[in-house]
Structure 1
Amino acid sequence: MSDRITVEELSELMKKAAGVTVAPEELQQHYDTGFDVLGIDSLGLLGVVGELEKRYGTPLPPDAERCRTPRQFLDLVNGSAVAGA
């Protein structure tokens, strides 16, 4: 496991778990744009959270599914035990 979840990995997870394709470059440009604007609803984000928990075998912080932007999500996830341990 890498020590940080990258924009590329988040982009891949968004496609796999929510069926929404956003290129990593576009995601980086819209780092502070709401997930809703990018086409990810709350269920889609819950799918991303579930996929990460399954992938790394550890729960994410409870607030992960309530993040509004890619920046908030990556900051929270990368500050948790999943990415930092």
Structure 2
Amino acid sequence: MNGPVTFDELAALMKARAGLSVDPREMERRPDATFAEFDLDSLGLLGIVAELEKRYGSPLGNEAEGCKNPHAFLENVNNQLTAAGV
């Protein structure tokens, strides 16, 4: 799995890890919408971070876990993966 993590992938992870059905286009259209607005809590976000770390074989750290919205999360994760050469 190379390339940036997308809104589609994040929506699929939210479904798999937290049981939430979220339209990835809605997340993309609403840059200031928080994870809470999509009903994702911090535990659900931790699960998503853990899954991405497993998939990409690269630690993401506390910065990703602290992101409050999907846009910031994807930017942070993709920057970290790029820096790690993934």
TM-score (norm 1): 0.89
CA contact (8 A) 1:61 1:77 kept: no
Question: Aligned pairs, how many?
Answer: 83
Partner residue in 2 for 1:14:
14
Partner residue in 1 for 2:33:
33
Alpha-carbon separation, structure 2, partners of 1:59 and 1:47: 13
Deviation at 1:18, TM superposition (A): 1.2
1:67-82 matches, within 5 Å, as 67-80=67-80, 82=81
Partner residue in 1 for 2:47:
47
Percentage identity across paired residues of the two chains: 47
Alpha-carbon separation, structure 1, partners of 2:30 and 2:74: 13
Deviation at 1:47, TM superposition (A): 0.7
What 5-or-longer segments of structure 1 have no aligned partner?
none
Between 1:43-52 and 1:1-10, the stretch displaced more is: 1-10
What 5-or-longer segments of structure 2 have no aligned partner?
none
In the TM superposition, structure 1's runs of 4+ consecutive aligned residues that sit over 6 Å from their partners are none
TM-score (norm 2): 0.88
Alpha-carbon separation, structure 2, partners of 1:12 and 1:59: 20
